[in-house]
Chain A
């Protein structure tokens, strides 16, 4: 089976992130890039399916040169090869444009199963898996915390706030997984060494026949008009519990009319 796992490099969520004043895009340079946390579950799911069903896992990343670090990490977990869509024209693309470019790559390289994390920790739109299913015209098997494959049928548990649905579709399909779907493996030393020799194919917009006028910041359908740091919250009152902490908290709740 030809499994493609989409992996995004995002700024580390453990540090403060900001937008660049010039063009209101994410400052990706000044912070460390890491694999989007939820994508690690997508990689693991792809590897598990390939181990059970046979086949190969290809990592697909769209992003600047720097994203190559994250591609290597995904390869060191055990993925077989990677495709890196890298083109200056893509900078600042919104979800609509990103899905256009990713769908073009997927159509060009071919796939049986596309797996993504349910959302990224930077933009958090949560739309890319659904947009890809729409663009590719394949079943949308998203928000899964369990994936079962039997022949060409894919069945998932789609999580909701109060439980889950069982959803089924046929390959080729797009699957998105939520966090804690599985236990992502850590790269082994052997895996890290092997990753250095694994093929990474670089593609440009021209390679996938996507016109530069349909992607990038200047052509985005959604546009940041302005942004500002949220005003810091007014300093609150902090009391030390001296046997009356609960009562004081209750008094605060009563004063604010919560009780």
Chain B
């Protein structure tokens, strides 16, 4: 069975991100998953890779991957594509993952499919990617016609499933070329060290909109998110007004999320916003305007003042926790 390369996303200490387990789950449908591990930490991460079905783990432990912007990773993948002739390359559909996919596509003359929410084997045996277009209004099935299919899978779109794999480590000697060292990372600053889950990986997202009225008013969204163990999102109106940082914007511009549960609070649900959240599995809306378009996509909606509905909801959630 042909190998399928899976680019691992992990912390320096080897903590494997959830999306990597999702990629492994998708890769198993297409062939034999081979993880590509850049940098350090594989000793700590390998057990998890085995748990989700990695058969092989290529390890290139070089500081170049964190020292320079994406080009070294694309270079490593290109050399593995040449040596392993994989059936496909899967990367996380994050902003950086898509940049890596783009450079790899140029290097290998391959077609690349971004923002996939599912990957299956198509009628001709080649990978078939399902992509929501225009914020989920249209579902497209796409294939790659040239080179090695490169697929960027949206985090949180498919469920990671456990399946034992050998996870045999295969060290790869790697030094980035001078060309791949043109963009030097000189510093890294963490500004959001919150306890909340990452927005695109969270299984529950609570988002607030214009209805929160102010930065202070937006605090209620954080309280509800914390009661649910959820990530916080915001509409463009909120980030434009400066009530919450832009990094948390959900919508056509901003993050696209597909959590199990999406709560839209004080958000009218303009197309701009729906484009970033309407592939969520369950949607709950709270808005004082009964005509708000968000109710068209909501599984459950409450027409009312968020400042009375949400505190009551938090109280009920807390009450249930005590039981």
Binding site for B on A (CB under 8 A): 13-19, 24, 37-38, 94-96, 99, 118, 121-122, 124-131, 133-135, 137-143, 158-170, 173, 178-180, 220-230, 233-234, 236-241, 243-250, 252-254, 256, 258-259
> Are the C-beta atoms of B114 and A127 separated by less than 8 Å?
yes
Residues in B with CB closer than 8 Å to A239 are: 300-303
Convert B174-191 into 0s and 1s, putting 1 for each residue whose CB lies closer than 8 angstroms to a CB of A.
000001001111111111
Residues in B with CB closer than 8 Å to A233 are: 278, 283, 296-297, 299
Given known contacts A225-B128, A227-B139, A240-B304, is B192 in contact with A161 (CB within 8 Å)?
yes
Give 10 new A-B contacts, CB below 8 A, not counting A14-B270, A140-B69, A249-B316. Answer: A96-B110, A126-B102, A130-B99, A165-B189, A166-B185, A179-B246, A238-B303, A239-B302, A247-B312, A254-B320
What DSSP secondary structure best describes chain A's contact surface? mixed
Rounded to whole angstroms, the CA-CA distance of A228 and B253 in the bound complex is 23
> Are the C-beta atoms of B304 and A241 separated by less than 8 Å?
yes
Rounded to whole angstroms, the CA-CA distance of A233 and B240 in the bound complex is 29
> Are the C-beta atoms of B112 and A246 separated by less than 8 Å?
no
Within 294-311 of B, Cβ neighbours of A (below 8 Å) are at 295-305, 308-311
B12 lies within 8 A of chain A by Cβ: no
> Are the C-beta atoms of B253 and A121 separated by less than 8 Å?
yes
Interface footprint category on B: 35 or more
B105 lies within 8 A of chain A by Cβ: yes
Within 255-271 of B, Cβ neighbours of A (below 8 Å) are at 260-261, 270-271
Given known contacts A124-B114, A236-B298, is B138 in contact with A228 (CB within 8 Å)?
yes
B161 lies within 8 A of chain A by Cβ: no
Binding site for A on B (CB under 8 A): 69-71, 74, 94-96, 98-103, 105-107, 109-115, 122, 128, 132-134, 136-147, 179, 182-193, 198-200, 204, 228, 239-240, 246-247, 252-254, 260-261, 270-272, 275, 278, 282-284, 286, 290, 295-305, 308-317, 320-321
Rounded to whole angstroms, the CA-CA distance of A107 and B161 in the bound complex is 47
> Are the C-beta atoms of B114 and A224 separated by less than 8 Å?
no
> Are the C-beta atoms of A126 and B282 separated by less than 8 Å?
no
> Are the C-beta atoms of A221 and B302 separated by less than 8 Å?
no
Minimal beta-carbon separation of B135 from chain A (angstroms): 9
Q: Which residue of B lies closest to A138 (CB)?
A: B182
Rounded to whole angstroms, the CA-CA distance of A170 and B184 in the bound complex is 10
> Are the C-beta atoms of B103 and A130 separated by less than 8 Å?
yes
7 residue pairs, one from A and one from B, having the closest CB atoms: A241-B304, A246-B312, A127-B102, A221-B111, A250-B316, A246-B313, A130-B99
Residues in B with CB closer than 8 Å to A259 are: 228, 317, 320-321
Given known contacts A131-B102, A169-B184, A225-B128, is B261 in contact with A258 (CB within 8 Å)?
yes
Residue in B69, B102, B193, B308 whose CB lies within 8 Å of A128 = B102
Rounded to whole angstroms, the CA-CA distance of A38 and B70 in the bound complex is 22
Residues in A with CB closer than 8 Å to B144 are: 221-223
Residue in A24, A238, A250 whose CB lies within 8 Å of B317 = A250
